[in-house]
Amino acid sequence: MAEGRVVGIDLGTTNSLIAYMQGDSPVVIPGVDGSNLVPSIVALDPMPADGSRPTVTVGNTARKALIETPERVIYSVKRLMGRGVSEVQAELKLFPFRLAADVDAANPNEVPRIQLGEMTFTPPEVSAYILRQLKRNAERFFGAPVTQAVITVPAYFNDAQRQATKDAGRMAGLEVLRLVNEPTAAALAYGLDREKEGVIAVYDFGGGTFDISILKLKDGIFEVLATNGDTHLGGDDIDNLLLAIALDEIRNDYGIDLRPHADAVQALRKAVIEAKIELSFKDTTHFDIELPNGTRYQREIPRAVFEDLIKPILERTAVPCKQVIADAGINPEEIGEVVLVGGSTRIPAVRRQVDAIFHLSTRGKKPHTELNPDEVVALGAAVQAEILGGSAKSTEDMLLLDVTPLSLGIEALGGVVARIIPRNSTIPASATEHFTTGVDGQTNVAIHVLQGERELATDCRSLARFDLKGIPPMSAGMPRIEVKFLIAADGILHVSAREQRSGKEAQIEVKPTYGLTDEQVESMILDSFDNAEADFAKRLLIEARLEAETILAAVERAPQHPAWQKLTEDEKLTIDALKSVLQIVSTGEDANVIRSATVSLDQATRRFAELMMEEAVTSAIRGKTMDKAGEDLGDEIQAPHPMAAAEFK
Ligand code: ADP
Ligand code: MG
């Protein structure tokens, strides 16, 4: 039953992933290129000559456009989600993309739009493209539509940022059943909710951000005690440092300044990232780059040298960790478990740093590293998705809840905040407070919804305003106004106000002041997305044909391979027959028929693939490297990857 499956999504700053529950364990769904990580990069293809709408690409394809058409590429859009024009402008100082020229920076309600080539996009739209790509990957994998998801967000995301994430889901054709805090998801991936009680630290060191969260688990409910971090600290800083060193060395030792050459710098960046990753599991790395004048920049970097270089960067994670422990009001010794999240926690020096901060080895403890650190958030989202999807085994599992990160209330007389839902309340939450009027004959009451911990309204974040009108004139203090706050399971706040004597009522689903309106979201869905059934069928057909073409091309080349001669005549005839079948059906219109013919041909060629592998291994032993042998094989037969797992109806 692939239909109706709820997926879990980690919509990351650097990389995004989609996962689902396969039996009892969460599994990440790979993209067409076989990779589990989809880089959170979106690019606009060149404008077609006929003036039609340019295509949007996502992930590794979009990354390639960074060199050729950087003005049509956007990354790190998560930083811009749910933020006002002024906040976005400050953030953009660090990035090459710009706000659209016609964005009114003076209007506090303006939704920022980013210029991409000749078009402009709001941050939720850009995220929607990433989500749509993930959704497509999952649909391709299941062979069925995917329409419901759980999406993770940083624990510190405020209501506006959460709402923007939800809007992005909707634009991508996904119903977002729940937004889950990333650290909560990581703890879930490790099944820590089964422990019943304890204090957990989640140390998330990703590409561009560092987050540290302290969770308290009680009766299967995670409460975020405190979060801290650095919104501009991550693997990118390590890459930038290594890149700067390499550029300086090349200039000093070879007299070549690569900095003005964007593509050379990009190639060098790629090389330093590869070197960094290699140093996570090797004692030394080596890079070798051809320079424009034909000479080579060659450099050996022992791990010890690398660790010295990055020490100041890693030390920057210690300060927020100390702060978060203080804010949570706990002793480091009370932290029972530490979960490592984020690709950069693969670096051994980072693990040592974590050990030192949380006194782990001295307490005979180890951090959780059993799962891939860049996958754990998505895996946890899949666990939550399964629970919400209704297949949880016990009602106890269903109770798994999240909490509100900040207090919610309204502005009362004198500009003070009347708190209605305190921070860390479990979601769904609802609370009611009663108010009255301050002036005789007052018929309207302004309800100003606020988020934050401060006492004065001006120091809190304004979420929404609405008026309760038409109260019959009464003396001050007579009306009885009931204000009800409800945070639904999806994390979205609904506020209603009702004057109980007259029955007058007003309510609002809280949209942040500069959030998108329902109409805007709706029009963006129509503008940019194709959710129709017909489109889905068409896409499946196109993909099925592509897979068929790939395997047909490989089979076409097969007789030239020495391994072919080792097949029996029968085997060769079967392959030929199935090849003809696939050639015929792949011109047809039925994706399922094409796929099953592709599977049959794939199975018939399995022994050939094994023989080829043997051949490759033998020649590797004869002198070629194993790596190269692997590559040869990869070129020959492209397994039509997810088909084995797909279910056909
Ligand atoms: P985000 O949560 O910010 O989207 P990820 O958790 O996917 O990011 O982490 C991406 C970062 O992890 C990148 O800077 C990448 O270079 C780094 N990274 C991935 N694998 C390794 C490794 N083996 N060693 C060091 N850094 C790594
Ligand atoms: Mg992440």
Q: Which of 125, 139, 182, 602 is catalytic?
A: 182
- Give the alpha-carbon dihedral of 513, 514, 515, 518, to 10 degrees: 80
Residue closest by Cα to atom 23 of ligand 1: 277
Q: Is 39 in the pocket of ligand 1 (CB under 6 A)?
A: no
Q: Regarding predicted confidence, which is higher, 543 or 132?
A: 132
Here the tokens at position 435 are: 């108010």
Residue closest by Cα to atom 10 of ligand 1: 207
Give me the amino acid identity at 43: A
Q: Is 277 in the pocket of ligand 1 (CB under 6 A)?
A: yes
Q: What's the CATH code of the domain at 109?
A: 3.30.420.40
- The best mutation among 60, 303, 344, 351 to test binding of ligand 1, ranked by most ligand atoms within 8 Å of the C-beta, falls on 344
CA distance 643 to 641: 6
Q: Which of 78, 135, 166, 511 is catalytic?
A: 78
Q: Is 78 in the pocket of ligand 1 (CB under 6 A)?
A: no
Q: Output the CA angle 537-542-546, nearest 5 degrees.
A: 145
Within 13 A of 515's CA, how many CA atoms are on the CB side? Answer: 25
| Ligand of minimum distance to the alpha carbon of 206 | 1
- Percent pLDDT > 70 in the chain is 87
Whether residue 553 lies inside any domain: the answer is yes
Whether residue 1 lies inside any domain: the answer is no
pLDDT averaged over the chain? 84
Is the Cβ–Cβ distance between 11 and 131 less than 8 Å?
Answer: yes
Q: What's the CATH code of the domain at 579?
A: 1.20.1270.10
Q: Is 229 in the pocket of ligand 1 (CB under 6 A)?
A: no
What was the pLDDT predicted at 311? 96
CA of 229 to the centre of ligand 2 (A): 13
- Percent pLDDT > 90 in the chain is 46
Q: Is 15 in the pocket of ligand 1 (CB under 6 A)?
A: yes
CA distance 387 to 400: 8
Among the candidates 530, 553, 585, a domain finishes at 530
Tokens 């399971």 label which residue? 489
CA of 1 to the centre of ligand 2 (A): 30
Mean pLDDT of 474-490: 83
Residues 210, 335: one domain? yes
Q: What's the CATH code of the domain at 248?
A: 3.90.640.10
| Ligand of minimum distance to the alpha carbon of 14 | 1
Give me the amino acid identity at 590: D
CA of 374 to the centre of ligand 1 (A): 7
CA of 184 to the centre of ligand 2 (A): 12
What was the pLDDT predicted at 649? 26
| Ligand of minimum distance to the alpha carbon of 36 | 1
- The best mutation among 10, 15, 181 to test binding of ligand 1, ranked by most ligand atoms within 8 Å of the C-beta, falls on 15
User: Is 204 considered catalytic here?
Assistant: yes
Whether residue 90 lies inside any domain: the answer is yes
What was the pLDDT predicted at 575? 94
pTM reported for the whole predicted model: 0.72
The contacts of residue 531 (CB under 8 Å, 6+ apart) are 173, 525
Q: Is 14 in the pocket of ligand 1 (CB under 6 A)?
A: yes
What was the pLDDT predicted at 450? 87
Q: Which stretches does DSSP call E strand in 342-428? A: 402-403, 408-412, 416-421, 426-427
Please give the distance of CA 304 from its chain centroid, rounded to a whole number.
33
Q: Which residues pair with 483 in a beta bridge?
A: 433, 497
Residue closest by Cα to atom 18 of ligand 1: 343
Q: Is 206 in the pocket of ligand 1 (CB under 6 A)?
A: yes
Whether residue 38 lies inside any domain: the answer is yes
Residues 16, 141: one domain? yes
Tokens 């502005």 label which residue? 411
CA of 12 to the centre of ligand 2 (A): 5
Residue closest by Cα to atom 12 of ligand 1: 343
CA distance 122 to 113: 4
Whether residue 255 lies inside any domain: the answer is yes
398-418 per-residue burial string, b: 16 or more CB within 10 A, e: under 16:
eebbbbbbbbbbbbbeeeebe
What was the pLDDT predicted at 514? 55
Q: Is 345 in the pocket of ligand 1 (CB under 6 A)?
A: no
User: Is 624 considered catalytic here?
Assistant: no
Of 152-156, 162-166, 368-372, 591-595, where does the model show the most confidence?
Answer: 368-372
Question: Quick one: which of 60, 104, 101 has its CA closest to 84?
Answer: 104
Whether residue 429 lies inside any domain: the answer is yes
What was the pLDDT predicted at 218? 81
What was the pLDDT predicted at 455? 77
| Ligand of minimum distance to the alpha carbon of 208 | 1
CA of 342 to the centre of ligand 1 (A): 6
Residues 223, 239: one domain? no
Residues 328, 459: one domain? no
What was the pLDDT predicted at 645? 25
Residues 85, 220: one domain? yes
Q: Which atom of ligand 1 lies at the shortest distance from residue 209's CA?
A: 3
Q: What's the CATH code of the domain at 515?
A: 2.60.34.10
CA of 340 to the centre of ligand 2 (A): 11
| Ligand of minimum distance to the alpha carbon of 373 | 1
Q: Which atom of ligand 1 lies at the shortest distance from residue 13's CA?
A: 4
Q: Regarding predicted confidence, which is higher, 414 or 362?
A: 362
pLDDT higher than 80, residue 275: yes
Within 13 A of 125's CA, how many CA atoms are on the CB side? Answer: 25
CB atoms within 10 A of CB 264: 20
Of 15-29, 409-423, 464-478, 557-571, where does the model show the most confidence?
Answer: 15-29
Min mean pLDDT across 47-51, 115-119, 285-289, 401-405 is at 401-405
Here the tokens at position 535 are: 């489109």
CA distance 172 to 530: 9
Residues 349, 364: one domain? yes
Helix (H, G, I), strand (E, B) or coil at 479: coil
Whether residue 72 lies inside any domain: the answer is yes
User: Is 522 considered catalytic here?
Assistant: no
Here the tokens at position 289 are: 């780059």
Question: Quick one: which of 341, 403, 351, 346 has its CA closest to 378?
Answer: 341
Mean pLDDT of 600-625: 75
pLDDT higher than 70, residue 143: yes
Q: Which of 10, 375, 402, 547 is catalytic?
A: 10
CB atoms within 10 A of CB 634: 11
CA distance 186 to 368: 10
Whether residue 649 lies inside any domain: the answer is no
CA of 358 to the centre of ligand 1 (A): 22
Of 49-63, 301-315, 392-406, where does the model show the most confidence?
Answer: 301-315
What was the pLDDT predicted at 76? 94
Q: Which domain holds residue 285?
A: 235-314
H or E element: which one contains 630? Answer: helix 626-636
Residues 415, 397: one domain? no
Residues 272, 324: one domain? no
Q: Regarding predicted confidence, which is higher, 204 or 402?
A: 204
CA of 31 to the centre of ligand 1 (A): 18
Residues 155, 36: one domain? yes
Per DSSP bridges, beta strands 426-427 and 461-468 are unpaired
What was the pLDDT predicted at 151? 96
Q: How confident is the model at residue 331 (pLDDT cuts 50, 70, 90)?
A: very high
CA distance 376 to 342: 8
What was the pLDDT predicted at 321? 95
Q: Which stretches does DSSP call E strand in 382-503? A: 402-403, 408-412, 416-421, 426-427, 429-435, 445-451, 461-468, 481-487, 493-499
185 phi-psi bin (left φ>0, alpha ψ -120 to 50, beta other): alpha
Here the tokens at position 98 are: 């710009």
> Looking at the 3D structure of the chain, how many domains does it have?
4
Is the Cβ–Cβ distance between 307 and 323 less than 8 Å?
Answer: no
DSSP string, 38-66: EESEEEEPPPPTT-PPPPEEETHHHHHHH
Q: Which atom of ligand 1 lies at the shortest distance from residue 14's CA?
A: 4
**CA-based radius of gyration for the chain:** 28
H or E element: which one contains 128? Answer: helix 123-142
Q: Which residues pair with 645 in a beta bridge?
A: none
Q: Which of 125, 159, 193, 204 is catalytic?
A: 204
CA of 378 to the centre of ligand 1 (A): 14
Give me the amino acid identity at 360: L
pLDDT in tens, 402-448: 566 678 899 987 788 888 988 767 666 788 888 888 788 889 999 99
What was the pLDDT predicted at 416? 81
Q: Is 152 in the pocket of ligand 1 (CB under 6 A)?
A: no
Q: Is 30 in the pocket of ligand 1 (CB under 6 A)?
A: no
Question: What are the C-alpha distances in Å from 117 to residues 56, 71, 124, 161, 320?
Answer: 11, 6, 18, 26, 39
Q: What is the 3-state secondary structure (H, E, C) of 277-329?
A: HHCCCCCEEEEEEECCCCCEEEEEEEHHHHHHHHHHHHHCCHHHHHHHHHHHC
Residues 334, 200: one domain? yes
Among the candidates 483, 514, 530, a domain finishes at 530
Q: Is 346 in the pocket of ligand 1 (CB under 6 A)?
A: yes
Q: Is 343 in the pocket of ligand 1 (CB under 6 A)?
A: yes
Here the tokens at position 37 are: 């990580």
623 phi-psi bin (left φ>0, alpha ψ -120 to 50, beta other): left
List phi, psi (to 5°) of 307: -65, -35
Please give the distance of CA 618 from its chain centroid, rounded to a whole number.
42
What was the pLDDT predicted at 619? 66
Among the candidates 247, 280, 314, a domain finishes at 314
User: Is 135 considered catalytic here?
Assistant: no
CA distance 57 to 116: 12
Residues 342, 214: one domain? yes
List phi, psi (to 5°) of 176: -90, 105
Of 185-199, 233-247, 423-437, 622-636, where does the model show the most confidence?
Answer: 233-247
Q: Is 342 in the pocket of ligand 1 (CB under 6 A)?
A: yes
CA distance 222 to 560: 60
Residues 419, 503: one domain? yes
